């Protein structure tokens, strides 16, 4: 009986490791605060070199994403966002303008 219990526990552990190591493709859209599509936005899996950019319509596709991964989404002139993937396979990202560092000049 004890041996069966140990074997069952080992099988459960192997199965749980297999399930958590599953990867998938995450898709979505990137827009600005006016809901206009943002092309060329950088999407990177944090801690890796795996990344992509949004297409001309602001759509993103990134493969080999695990549930434990976080996506760093950035674009010039916009505030960077980091999103935890979790169980999501489709995300909608709205990037806000980053006004810090911009110099506003008045031409008379």
Among 67, 85, 79, residue whose Cα is nearest residue 28: 85
CA distance 60 to 78: 17
Domain segments of the chain as ranges = 23-95
Averaged pLDDT, 25-46: 94
Fold of 23-95: Immunoglobulin-like (2.60.40)
49-98 tens-digit pLDDT: 999 999 999 999 999 899 899 999 999 889 999 999 988 899 999 999 98
- Statement: the pTM of the whole predicted model exceeds 0.85: no
């Amino acid at each position: 009986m004890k041996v069966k219990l140990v074997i069952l526990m080992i099988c459960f552990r192997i199965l749980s490791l297999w399930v958590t190591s599953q990867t998938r493709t995450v898709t979505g859209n990137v827009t600005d605060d006016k809901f206009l599509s943002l092309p060329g936005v950088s999407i990177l899996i944090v801690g890796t070199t795996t990344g992509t950019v949004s297409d001309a319509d602001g759509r993103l596709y990134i493969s080999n994403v695990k549930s434990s991964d976080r996506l760093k989404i950035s674009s010039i002139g916009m505030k960077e966002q980091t999103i935890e993937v979790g169980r999501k396979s489709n995300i909608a990202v709205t990037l806000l303008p980053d006004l810090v560092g911009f110099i506003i000049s008045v031409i008379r």
